[in-house]
Amino acid sequence: MNWDQVQGNWDELKGKVRQKWGKLTDDDLDQIAGKKDELVGRLQKHYGYAKEKAEEELQKFCASC
């Protein structure tokens, strides 16, 4: 699944994102609203990932959807 598909199906995928990254709150997910850069930033904030690591984890997640 590419990011355009994730963005288009964000409401459906929020649950999967929440399962994968449980530290993200419902408010985080609402504010992310399918924006890739916003999700990368939240992963950095909540998990202490470097930007590259956050993007890598997100890419793995998208491939598994």
pLDDT tens digits for range 29-52: 999 999 999 999 999 999 999 999
Q: Looking at the domain that runs over 3-64, which CATH code has it been given?
A: 1.10.1470.10
- CB contact at 8 A, 54 and 44: yes
**Which pair of tokens denotes residue 30?**
């609402």
Domain edges within the chain: 3-64
Q: Tell which wins on pLDDT, 62 or 55.
A: 55
Query: Using CA atoms in the order 46, 44, 26, 3, what is the torsion angle rounded to 10 degrees?
Result: -150
- Find the DSSP H helices in the chain: 3-8, 10-20, 26-32, 36-47, 51-64
pLDDT at 3 exceeding the cut of 90: no
pLDDT at 57 exceeding the cut of 90: yes
